[in-house]
Structure 1
Amino acid sequence: MRRRLILALSIMGCGSAAAQATSDFPYGPNHVFAAFRNGEKIGTHSLSFQQNGDKRTVTTSIDFAVKAMGFVMYRYNHRGQEIWNGNTFESIATQTDDNGTRYTLKARHEPGGVSVVREGDGAGPRVAANDAGFQQGMAKQVTLPANTLPTTHWNLNQVKQSAILNTQNGALAKIRVTPRGRETIKTASGKSLEATRYSYSGDVEMDQWFDDRGRWVKASFKASDGSTIEYILQE
């Protein structure tokens, strides 16, 4: 469960493609999820949006703790900040503490593509095809295709991509996204929202829901032990 949870958090947490235009941007200043494992709350995933003229800053904060018998068995903290200029992705910087293993990442859109500089002390064995991590001999600086989006998940355009930037470890995650139709989801307050469900396969395996305004409103995935991790919107 731990390795799958680590991967999912890094993908959730944290290229150049059109974001929603400023005039119809669907989010308010803050957008917060509570995360649950088999119905038990393990933390929060928060987004904040700040607009200054054509510039938009998107800040991500993730704080999780998985407990057993009163003891914290696993802890995950992630901070990220994206900069957009109008509809153009400019840069992202993240810091992650994955249960004591630390990563930093900086990515910037440049004429030749998305330049990624990453650092981390996680060089353990590769345990899954989608756990790129920092293997021995792996380059710490790479250039990804210009249309690569970061995996911060608030941007509806992500569901149109075939590859996305893992914002923890800097790997390029190859994905296939399949629309699953309309569903009604519940927020923490019991409010009902009509949303479209998208299923991810490949290097990311999860379900994600966007409402009619284009807001990310729910997520769900399975941990390797079969437990269910759910994001519930706090509104």
Structure 2
Amino acid sequence: MNLGEDSPRFWVGKVYRLTLAAILGAVLIGWLAGAAAAADESWSREFRAIRKNQDIGYHRVSVERQGDETRVATQIELTVKLLGMVTVYTYHHRSEEVWRGGRLVSIHSRTDDNGAKLRLDAEAEGDSLRVKGTDYTGLAPGNIMPTSYWNSAFPRHDLLLNTQSGKLLKVGVSEKPVEAEDGVAPGSKRYALDGDLRLEIWYDAQGRWAKTRFQAESDGSIVDYRLVGE
């Protein structure tokens, strides 16, 4: 016997279906919102540059993601003084990067390295990157990684683009064990680069740049990058 739409069983079933649909819809909306938030995640890092136990400046990087586009801004200011009074070295750097779909499509930078003016302007061109820099002008591979350090894929490349001058750098990379004295969070990774670029770099478990150590070319002193607030 068909009781029709006036039966209690009909209305209970309808309410149940509507409630279930609402719950599933809410879950789906929440999942999509979470996915969108992850896709549009933005973050920044500021490092203190330490040389011979003295602050010599800072290195800031800001990463903004919207959909498949990522914009990166870098600012570096370094000043080395003799006996804390006489300035013997200065370094100023600004750069802006644009990435789409995981590929670098443009980078522009200006650098003053103790009076030496350096520049880099590069744009995607087909499967390559058209580079116009102080030390190199020509084509580079489209998947080349710039030496701006923020990208955790950086140590997985053996050819790098110098973000000051456009020079192409050949490097060797090896992963090293993370030591307690490194002062980084559990789950971090540590890499050592040699060849045209020599440094150590750490990334945390989320793939964010966590620390760097390198030797200054001018006098061989060690420079440590330490996260502000740590």
Shorter chain as normaliser: what TM range? 0.7 to 0.9
Larger Rg: 2
Residue 207 (structure 1) aligned with residue 200 (structure 2): yes
Point out where structure 1 has 5 or more consecutive residues left out of the alignment: 1-20, 120-133, 135-139
How many residue pairs are counted as aligned between the two chains? 192
Instruction: Give me the CA root mean square deviation.
Output: 2.2
Task: Report the residue type matching 1:174 in the other structure.
Answer: K
The match for 1:118 among 93, 115, 133 is: 133
Secondary structure of residue in 2 paired with 1:159: helix
Deviation string, structure 1 residues 122-147 (Cα, Å, up to 9, x no partner): xxxxxxxxxxxx4xxxxx52101222
Task: Supply the distance in 1 between the matched residues of 2:40 and 2:203 (Cα, whole angstroms).
Answer: 11
Task: Report the residue type matching 1:106 in the other structure.
Answer: D
Aligned to 1:5: none
Residue 159 (structure 1) aligned with residue 174 (structure 2): no
How big is the shift at 1:193? 4.8
Secondary structure of residue in 2 paired with 1:212: coil
Residue 172 (structure 1) aligned with residue 168 (structure 2): yes
Aligned to 1:137: none
Task: Report the residue type matching 2:146 in the other structure.
Answer: P
* TM-score, length of structure 2 as denominator length: 0.76
Q: What does 1:50-199 align with in structure 2 at a 5 Å threshold?
A: 50-69=64-83, 70-119=85-134, 134=135, 141-184=137-180, 185-186=182-183, 192-199=185-192
Q: Looking at both structures, which has the greater relative contact order when contacts are Cα pairs under 8 Å and sequence separation is at least 6? A: 1
Aligned to 1:15: none
Q: What does 1:209-228 align with in structure 2 at a 5 Å threshold?
A: 209-224=202-217, 225-228=219-222
Runs of 4+ more than 6 Å apart: none
Aligned to 2:223: 229
Note closer, same or farther for the CA distance 1:112–1:87 as it changes in structure 2 (3 Å cut): closer
Contact residue 42 and residue 64 of structure 2 kept, 8 A: no
Contact residue 186 and residue 193 of structure 1 kept, 8 A: no
Note closer, same or farther for the CA distance 1:52–1:227 as it changes in structure 2 (3 Å cut): same
Decide which moves more: 32-41 or 108-117. 108-117
Task: Supply the distance in 1 between the matched residues of 2:36 and 2:75 (Cα, whole angstroms).
Answer: 23
* TM-score, length of structure 1 as denominator length: 0.75
Deviation string, structure 1 residues 122-179 (Cα, Å, up to 9, x no partner): xxxxxxxxxxxx4xxxxx5210122211111111111111110001111100001100
Point out where structure 2 has 5 or more consecutive residues left out of the alignment: 1-34
